[in-house]
Amino acid sequence: MSDLLDAALRLDAVWPWLLLLPPMVLFANLVYRRTRPPVAPTRVVLLWLLRATTFTIVVLLLAEPVLSYLARLALRPEVVTLIDASPSMDVEERGVTRLDRIRTSMADGLRDVLVGPARAFSASVQDIGPDTLDRLHSFGKATDLATALASVLDEATDPRLLSAIVLITDGRHNLGPDPVRIAREHGTPIHVLGVTSKTSPDDVQILGLDLDGQPFAGKPIRLLARLRSWGFQDSTVTLRLEEGEEILSQVEIPLAADGQVQPVELSMPPMSAGPHLVQVYVVPRVGELTPHNNQSLLALNVRQSRLRVLLLTDRPSPESGFVRRTLVADSTLQVDEYVGRGEDVYYGAARVPSAFGGYDAVVVLSPKGQADPLPEALQAYLTGGGGILIQTLGSETGAFSATWSDILPTVTEAGTPDVHDKAPLHLVAATRNHPIHRGMTRGATEDPWQRLPPLQARTPRVRLKPTAKALLAAADGAAVVVASAHGAGRVVHVLGTGFWRQSLFGEGAGGDARTVRAFWRSAVHWLASAESGGRVQASAEQPVYRSGQRAAITAQVFDELKEPLTDADVELALSPGGRAILLEPMVPGHYRTEIADLAAGSYTFLVRARIGMESIGQTEGSFVIEDHTIESDDLRSDAEMLAAIARASGGTYRGIEAWRELVQTIRPTPILVQEQQDIGVKIHHMAWLFLLTGLLTTEWILRKRSGML
């Protein structure tokens, strides 16, 4: 907004020329009043005006005047107000909701201070008028502070005039990126009015639910739940396990101290093989804040038997011992180990099977010393749809046969010396959605490999075959773990050693060893998983989503040679609802979409891929949206989050009742700006020449017709 405060006019010229203008105009008047023969007075006036105008233009051109217009403007910076209207704002504390506290402050004068535009937000943002603040009601199923802040910063009509943002919220952020990072990156001051409380409302929450190992048919199943509560210390709650209408088990649990995360082990009776959807339910207590966070769903797939894994290594070593212990500790795997003691000789006088069809996955460590029939057997195993994990080093590649080279998804120069890094490995961002990563990180956004030491040795930069994708890389970008399709099978190539050392370091660094062990187990499970065999593969990134969460679906599309297709049209049909969604291309051959605003219930989807009018294939999948919303996970206010947002942006933080302390801060002073515009007469402009010629020609014609010539 700008107001005109002052204006001024200034004329610059060569003033001596302007002094000639009055006598020349008077001379023209005198001459035409005494003309002969006499003419009509109106024509005399017309001729005099033509001559005077000509003299005036000539003098102005000689004087070169410049007209300057100077204006002083007041630019009024804009302050945008964001008001949290998520369901957590309906929480009552001492009989007053958080929204009521905002309404009270507005009625006390805060509304008169907030003169800029206002928006309400939850998981989305909507404009509101100043006259609707008293009637504002909660909406949505989550709170996305980052999206609300970004909407103001990205949609400002003039970013230079965006002085500040006033954020009124309880600080409970549960959806979207980190709002502190958004505040720091944009740099606009954010003045926060927190609707917070020093006490926590009485509540019992289920924070998470996990399986303790892979469930198998006919055996009891163990679950691990995590509870947190406030206001019910030294009392008990009833915890139920249900599938549909059937109560599988029920147990009384004593609650821990307020705010303490409490692990609870639960036991389920044996279940039949196949998919199951189990609900853990805490019977609500009297006076509890909300019952919506007392339940959680868990999708599990009960297997008939354990996966069989063949482990081959050319010699005993710390690496082979670590891999063996990691795989054996996985209760879903049955590991048969063969440790070499020479060419085609193994400890215990056992011989490697000539065919691997009875195994779900094969792990080969340092295959340089393995007998020649092994690569031919592995090739046949891959052709039949098997999965192989191979660990090699650059110094070993010179001993590989042509069959080995065909199996490996990488090309390495023979006899390449190994590299000893000083920097840790890192996840490759382009393949972050690969199932091996998802099974390893469990949805975490940080890179756990950055907290571990580097490998002892690795192969230097290698070239990947067309179907191969790097999953882990060294600091210089060289691939260290590569996954690839091979015919109907799969291959994971590990080009380094020293994972045992990383695990040992992680044990002493607070649990980071789980990252290394989870990688090897996740890789083996991915290799052992049943391949659909089709050219289109799709799955939900989670089997169960909270209400308000975006359901993410990923798909892979291949051509006839099992190479990724980058230009396919991939469409998802969702049921129920009949929604059709086009998946966005990500890395080559990978497509992804996120579906928002889904009601609670079970969903199935059909993914079709085509190029032009040619159909490539289709596949199906499913996921569940549970009643438990993201918002109801934790309804407590978060003053620490609000203080961090204000601090990162250079703003200030106060409680909602102390809004008067921010009046001067959120009412910025107008900025005075001077703008000058010059309007000058330019001699070289052709318009002036035409004008002078026209005036003189008109005067000549009138004089001739009047008999003066």
670 inside domain:
no
pLDDT per residue as tens digits for the range 210-219? 887 778 888 8
Highest average pLDDT, of 19-23, 163-167, 396-400, 526-530, comes from 163-167
622 inside domain:
yes
pLDDT of residue 399: 57
Pairing of strands 307-313, 361-365: parallel
Confidence of residue 5 (pLDDT cuts 50, 70, 90): very low
List of E strands, 333-475: 333-342, 345-346, 361-365, 387-391, 410-411, 426-427, 457-458, 463-464, 469-473
The residue that leads in pLDDT, 689 or 523, is 523
Closest CA to 227 of 288, 144, 178, 141: 288
Mean pLDDT, the chain, whole residue set: 82
| One domain for residues 380 and 478 | yes
Whether pLDDT at 568 is above 60: yes
| One domain for residues 396 and 511 | yes
CA–CA separation, 432 and 441 (whole Å): 10
| One domain for residues 392 and 350 | yes
The residue that leads in pLDDT, 447 or 193, is 193
| One domain for residues 138 and 208 | no
pLDDT of residue 709: 64
Cα-based distances in Å from 15 to 18, 55, 377: 5, 16, 104
Closest CA to 361 of 418, 310, 416: 310
Confidence of residue 438 (pLDDT cuts 50, 70, 90): low
Residue ending a domain, among 528, 545, 564, is: 528
Crossing angle, helix 41-63 and helix 21-33, to 10 degrees? 160
| One domain for residues 256 and 234 | yes
- Amino acid occupying residue 520: W
CA–CA separation, 277 and 602 (whole Å): 10
Tell me the percentage of the chain whose pLDDT exceeds 70.
84
CA–CA separation, 53 and 267 (whole Å): 106
Tokens of 88: 């957590």
The residue that leads in pLDDT, 565 or 707, is 565
Average pLDDT over residues 428-434: 81
Question: What's the angle, vertex CA 491, arms to CA 486 and CA 492, rounded to 5?
Answer: 150
Whether pLDDT at 472 is above 90: yes
Phi/psi class of residue 494: alpha, beta or left (left: φ > 0; alpha: ψ in -120 to 50)? beta
Whose tokens are 């007041």? That residue is: 74
- For the question of whether the overall pTM of this predicted structure is more than 0.85, the answer is no
Whether pLDDT at 443 is above 60: no
230 inside domain:
yes
Tokens of 654: 């106060």
| One domain for residues 364 and 503 | yes
520 inside domain:
yes
| Beta-ladder partners of 300 | 276
pLDDT per residue as tens digits for the range 312-356? 888 888 998 999 999 998 888 889 888 887 666 777 656 777 788
Q: Provide the b/e sequence for 409-433 (b: ≥16 CB within 10 Å).
A: bbebeeebebbebeebbebbeebeb
Closest CA to 505 of 448, 458, 438, 460: 448
- Cβ atoms of 552 and 592 closer than 8 Å: yes
Residue 145 contacts by C-beta under 8 Å, 6 or more apart in sequence?
Answer: 121, 167, 169, 171, 173, 176, 179, 641, 645
Residue 442 contacts by C-beta under 8 Å, 6 or more apart in sequence?
Answer: none
Average pLDDT over residues 366-379: 71
Cβ count within 10 A of residue 107: 11
| One domain for residues 59 and 112 | no
Give the helix ranges, DSSP H, for 471-571.
499-507, 513-528
Closest CA to 10 of 59, 69, 63: 69
Q: How far is CA 653 from the centre of its chain?
A: 27
| Beta-ladder partners of 225 | 209, 264
Tokens of 160: 């230079």
Give me the phi and psi of 262, to 5 degrees please: -120, 110
Q: Which DSSP letter does residue 418 get? A: P
671 inside domain:
no
Whether pLDDT at 285 is above 80: yes
Q: Return the CATH number at 228.
A: 2.60.40.150
CA–CA separation, 83 and 274 (whole Å): 47
Average pLDDT over residues 137-163: 83
Confidence of residue 1 (pLDDT cuts 50, 70, 90): very low
- Cβ atoms of 569 and 537 closer than 8 Å: no
Helix (H, G, I), strand (E, B) or coil at 705: helix
Closest CA to 316 of 338, 335, 336, 339: 339
Q: Return the CATH number at 627.
A: 2.60.40.1930
Whether pLDDT at 3 is above 80: no
Average pLDDT over residues 444-451: 79
Residue 296 contacts by C-beta under 8 Å, 6 or more apart in sequence?
Answer: 206, 208, 209, 225, 279, 280, 626, 628
| One domain for residues 328 and 289 | no
| One domain for residues 523 and 545 | no
Residue ending a domain, among 500, 528, 556, is: 528
Q: Which of 45-54, 172-181, 383-392, 562-571 is predicted least confidently? A: 45-54
596 inside domain:
yes
- Cβ-in-10-Å burial (0-12, 13-18, 19+) of 391 comes to buried
Whether pLDDT at 459 is above 90: no
pLDDT per residue as tens digits for the range 357-371? 889 899 999 776 554
473 inside domain:
yes
Q: Return the CATH number at 523.
A: 3.40.50.880
pLDDT per residue as tens digits for the range 512-567? 668 889 899 989 988 887 555 578 888 898 888 888 888 999 998 887 666 678 88
- Give the domain extent around 39: 2-73+676-705
- Amino acid occupying residue 427: L
Q: Provide the b/e sequence for 342-368 (b: ≥16 CB within 10 Å).
A: eeeebeeeeebeeebeebbbbbbbbbe
Highest average pLDDT, of 36-45, 290-299, 364-373, comes from 290-299
Q: How far is CA 646 from the centre of its chain?
A: 22
Torsion from C-alpha of 441, 442, 443, 444, nearest 10 degrees = -50
| One domain for residues 399 and 479 | yes
pLDDT per residue as tens digits for the range 259-271? 888 999 888 888 8
Give the helix ranges, DSSP H, for 335-485.
373-383, 402-407, 435-441
Average pLDDT over residues 29-46: 72
Q: Which of 91-100, 183-192, 595-604 is predicted least confidently? A: 91-100
pLDDT of residue 466: 81
Confidence of residue 180 (pLDDT cuts 50, 70, 90): very high
The residue that leads in pLDDT, 672 or 135, is 135
Whether pLDDT at 282 is above 70: yes
What sign does the dihedral 457-460-466-470 (CA atoms) show? positive
The residue length of the chain stands at 709
CA–CA separation, 611 and 569 (whole Å): 6
Average pLDDT over residues 466-487: 88
DSSP, residue by residue, 168-232: EE-----SSS-HHHHHHHH---EEEEE---SSPPSEEEEEEEEESS--BTTS-EEEEEEEEEES-
Tell me the percentage of the chain whose pLDDT exceeds 90.
20
Q: Is the bond preceding residue 117 a cis peptide, omega within 30 degrees?
A: no
Tokens of 350: 């056992």
Residue ending a domain, among 467, 493, 528, is: 528
Confidence of residue 309 (pLDDT cuts 50, 70, 90): very high
Confidence of residue 679 (pLDDT cuts 50, 70, 90): low
How many domains is the chain partitioned into structurally? 5
- Amino acid occupying residue 337: E
Average pLDDT over residues 486-503: 87
Average pLDDT over residues 65-71: 62
Tokens of 351: 């011989």
Count H helices and E strands in the chain, helices first: 15, 40
- Cβ atoms of 645 and 188 closer than 8 Å: no
The residue that leads in pLDDT, 3 or 250, is 250
Closest CA to 425 of 506, 360, 491: 506
pLDDT of residue 390: 92
pLDDT of residue 17: 66
| One domain for residues 272 and 226 | yes
Give me the phi and psi of 217, to 5 degrees please: -60, 140
Helix (H, G, I), strand (E, B) or coil at 430: helix
| One domain for residues 261 and 185 | no
- Amino acid occupying residue 681: V
Average pLDDT over residues 410-435: 83
What sign does the dihedral 132-137-139-142 (CA atoms) show? positive
Q: Return the CATH number at 640.
A: 3.40.50.410
669 inside domain:
no
